[in-house]
Amino acid sequence: MKRDLHILDVTLRDGSHSMKHAFTEEQVRQVAKGLDQAGVEYFEVSHGDGLGGSSLQYGLSNVNELKLIEAAAEEAKRAKISVLLLPGIGIQEDLENAVKAGAKMVRVATHVTEADVAKQHIQLGRHLGLKTVGFLMMAHMAPVEKLVEQAKLFESYGAEMIYVTDSAGALLPHEVKERIQALKQSISVDIGFHGHNNLSLAMANTMAAVEAGATYIDGSLRCLGAGSGNTQTEVMVAVFDRLNYKTGVDLYPIMDVANHVVAKFMPRPQEITGSSLIMGYSGVYSSFLLFTEDAAKKFGVDERDILVELGRMRAVGGQEDLIYDVARELANRKHSVI
């Protein structure tokens, strides 16, 4: 079928953050089967921080991600499996193994100002015959011109699509629109958008992205993802159907996998809590949420104070250890005042 809009579901990758990287093979099989039967074209499977992310710094996976990719590939009769790769966290061999396990797409993710570290990974993706995507994270942290410059770099390396990634759920709809519009005028490859719901704007931002020309959009079932989670896949299906876009995804089956499969194993509902709201407000990487909760408990400080400080410091993905430094520093200050 000809789709006007391509939905990429990230439940089994971004959702890994909320699951503390503890997906079981059976959970992955059930979600993969449900997504496939509902008509989802692409879905992503890997550690939350991408291939090779299982580590003390990012959180250890319970089950090896290659095993999960393989299981998902067995269930996916029509859907194609994507993997995320952050250069340095994942290496060439990880991507080659992911392809052997069944991956058909790679999204090479860098901080919004760092696309130049990804040249060899984009080239490798193309060489391996994958649909190869450049994924610019923390898009709120760079002015529009910088984002365009970095997208052009990705395109020059061979990326077939560029994503604007609102990792902190910090962008407002007009800011999404100006970013996508600027890319539309400057690059000739497809444009995608990945949102987080920390300010309750994920759906509005996804609509703004589509209105401005994005044709690939990310979502997760029941919003399962970092921070307050992602744009809700089953809601996107309903909204874009109302707007007369063809996504190729059937509403009842996608609702069924969300509500009868994912909802049953979610550790908690994806709500906008005090902390995730502050992530959107201060522009902090959504996957810092659970580490921040842990650090706040360990050092007896307010999670929101940690997040405001991290936002002020412009902390980026990969600096998870800073969360504990900031919490310790806040605790020291508190005790020296008393």
Ligand X SMILES: C[C@H](O)CC(=O)C(=O)O
Q: Among the options 6, 17, 47, 121, which is catalytic?
A: 17
Q: Is 77 exposed, middle or buried (0-12, 13-18, 19+ CB in 10 A)?
A: exposed
Q: Is 165 in the site for ligand X (CB under 6 A)?
A: yes
∠ CA 68-254-4, rounded to 5°: 100
The annotation status of 14 as a binding-site residue, yes or no, is yes
Output the CA–CA distances (angstroms, integers) from residue 33 to 63, 257, 258, 274, 318, in the order listed.
Answer: 19, 9, 12, 35, 32
Question: Residue 102: enclosing H or E segment and its boundaries?
Answer: none
Cβ density class 288-324: b for 16+ within 10 Å, e for less: bbbbbeebbeebebebbbbbbbbbeeebbbeebebbb
36, 49, 70, 234: which one binds ligand X (CB under 6 A): 49
Choice between 193 and 245, CB closer to ligand X: 193
Binding-site residue total for Mn ion (CB under 5 A)?
A: 1
49 binds Mn ion (CB under 5 A): no
17 is an active site residue: yes
Contacts 24+ apart (CB under 8 A), 99-102: 99/128, 99/130, 101/66, 101/67, 101/69, 101/70, 101/73, 102/69, 102/70, 102/72, 102/73, 102/74, 102/76
Q: Can you tell me the distance from the alpha carbon of 248 to that of 107, in angstroms, rounded to the nearest whole number?
A: 22
Site string for Mn ion, 12-31 (x = CB under 5 A): --x-----------------
| Annotated binding-site residue? 216 | no
Residue 317 site contact among ligand X, Mn ion, none (CB < 5 to 8 Å, cut-off depends on kind): ligand X
Task: Report which of 266, 241, 261 is spatially closest to residue 251, judged by C-alpha positions.
Answer: 241
Does 166 engage in binding with Mn ion (CB under 5 A)? no
Asked whether residue 166 is marked as a ligand-binding residue, the answer is no
CB of 14 or CB of 303, closer to Mn ion: 14
We find the least distance from the C-beta atom of residue 36 to Mn ion, in angstroms, to be: 22
The residue behind tokens 């995608």 is 192
177 binds, among ligand X, Mn ion, none (CB under 5 to 8 A by kind): none
- Residue 14 interacting with ligand X (CB under 6 A): yes
> How many residues are given for the chain?
338
Residue carrying the six token digits 């999204």: 107
Measured from the CB atom, the residue of 54 and 286 that comes closer to ligand X is: 286
Q: How far is the CB of 44 from ligand X (least distance, A)?
A: 9
Contact call for residue 99 and ligand X (CB under 6 A) = no
Q: How near is the Cβ of 334 to ligand X at its closest, in Å?
A: 31
Considering the complex, what minimum distance in angstroms separates the CB of residue 194 from ligand X?
6
Asked if residue 287 binds ligand X (CB under 6 A), the reply is: yes
Residues tagged active-site: 17
Residue set of the binding site for substrate: 13-14, 167, 194, 285
Positions in the binding site for ligand X (CB under 6 A): 14, 48-50, 109, 137, 165, 167, 194, 226, 286-287, 317
